[in-house]
Amino acid sequence: MTTREHVPLRTLTTFRLGGDARFVIDCENEADVYAARAFAKERGLPSYVLGGGSNVLAADDGYAGVIIRMNVPGIAEEAVAEDAARLIAGAGVSWDTLVAEAARRGLWGVENLAGIPGTAGAAPVQNIGAYGTELSGSLEWIDAVPADADRVERLAAAELALAYRDSRLKREKGWIVLRIALRLRRDGAPMLAYRDLASRKEAGEPLRTPAEVGRAVREIRAGKFPDLSVSGTAGSFFKNPVIRSAEAKALAERYPGLPVYPADEETSKVSLAWILDCVLDARGLSVGGARLFERQPIVIVAGDGATAKDVELLAETVARRVEEATGISIEREVRTLA
């Protein structure tokens, strides 16, 4: 366990924004987590759990508390059946490293989630998803420390209320994930329904193994998202709105071409990127150094000289304009580090 003082949050987050954190404690195991929480409590300071910092916006005036940074390492495989295996990963393992490990072992289930930044421990928090797959399809259980006690609880995926970019871990404060377990298949098949993958398949690209699908997904993503080594971003800043299907139908009649996907019996998901692009003509809209990414307007990019305040003002402007044009109140995907 290491403790540092006055650490710039721009060095811990992919937005590369934010003032200093008063303390940052790097935790390698369960005992470190308890010690870090005790450290914060003794000083009467709040604490915030951080993984790779790829889904948070830190404030310009920093964080006057203790950042508990989850570095728990390790990946282990357990055989569970002839056609399935369990991969257990420490919260600090890079998510994409875990996906690559699954592929190396010929295990199916998370290959469409290749290339998502961040850590394994954060993956269940918003039930990461991409290219027609969500973590909920493979997550078996998590080991997590509850807010009120120094103990580890094993929670089955079914207890986590995993939903579109949502989970119980997001709504109940204080859970700290120590490790996650994925149940993966040896006899899986590629899931290529998503347009970009389907067209690669049609063009004759071999997409027969988890490794081949993972590689294709990483390539597709590289063309869609800003390069993190060049630009600050936290990926999609907003969720796609899920609204009543009747409202979605009315909206699609008003704006022909609006992509609408049934979510459940009563609700449908509508494409926010399409609304920003085709209804609001908002591609490239900017406030100070923050702008909507030209190739994908649902993504906010922090350019040179940007501040967290710029991002906040841009996000507020977008939300207001979407509401004025469509009546939809959009939700943020990115979390505020506070």
- Closest CB 127 distance from ligand FAD, rounded Å: 7
Is 236 a residue of the active site? yes
CB of 135 to ligand FAD, least distance (A): 8
Please name the helix (run of DSSP H) or strand (run of DSSP E) that holds residue 85, with its range, or none.
Answer: strand 84-90
Q: How far is the CB of 91 from ligand FAD (least distance, A)?
A: 4
Task: Return the number of the residue (309 or 332) whose C-beta is nearest ligand FAD.
Answer: 332
Q: CA 29 to CA 43: how far, in whole Å?
A: 22
Instruction: Pick between residue 283 and residue 335 the one whose CB is nearest to ligand FAD.
Output: 335
40 vs 56, beta carbon nearer ligand FAD: 56
Other CB atoms within a 10 A radius of the CB of residue 295 amount to 12
Which of the following is catalytic: 10, 69, 165, 200? 165
In the complex, the smallest distance separating the C-beta of residue 119 from ligand FAD, rounded to whole angstroms, is: 4
C-alpha span between 80 and 88 (Å, rounded): 12
Q: How many degrees, rounded to 5, is the angle at CA 104 between CA 179 and CA 153?
A: 10
Residue 167 annotated among the catalytic residues of the structure: no
Cβ distance to ligand FAD smaller for residue 14 or 307: 14
Element (H, E) at 65: strand 63-70
Exposure string (b/e) for 66-90, b if CB count within 10 Å is 16 or more?
bbbbbbbeebeeeeeeeebbbbbbb
Residue with tokens 């103990």: 151
Residue with the two structure tokens 């019996």: 265
Which residue, 65 or 129, has its beta carbon nearer to ligand FAD? Answer: 129
H/E/C letters for each residue in 119-177?
ECCCCCCCCCEECCEEHHHCEEEEEEECCCCCCCEEEEHHHHCCECCECHHHHCCCCEE
**Nearest to residue 50, comparing CAs of 177, 218, 228?**
177
Residue 160, token pair as written in the block: 């986590």
Q: Are 52 and 119 in contact (CB under 8 A)?
A: yes
Euclidean distance between CA atoms 271 and 62, whole angstroms: 33
Catalytic site residue from 167, 231, 236, 268: 236
Whichever of 108 and 175 has its CB closer to ligand FAD, that residue is 175
Is 154 annotated in the active site?
A: no
Cβ closest to ligand FAD, residue 51 vs residue 210: 51
Residue 27's DSSP bridge partners are 70
In the complex, minimum distance from the CB of residue 117 to ligand FAD, in angstroms, rounded to a whole number? 4
Closest approach of Cβ 268 to ligand FAD, in Å? Answer: 20
Residue carrying structure tokens 């120590």: 178
Least distance (Å) between residue 82 CB and ligand FAD: 31
Catalytic residue among 47, 215, 231, 333: 333
How would you classify the pairing of strands 129-130 and 75-81? unpaired
Closest by CA position to 174, among listed 36, 286, 6? 36
Residues near ligand FAD (CB under 6 A): 14, 48-56, 70, 91, 116-119, 121-123, 125-126, 128-130, 169, 175-177, 225, 228, 233-235, 335
> Active-site positions?
165, 236, 333
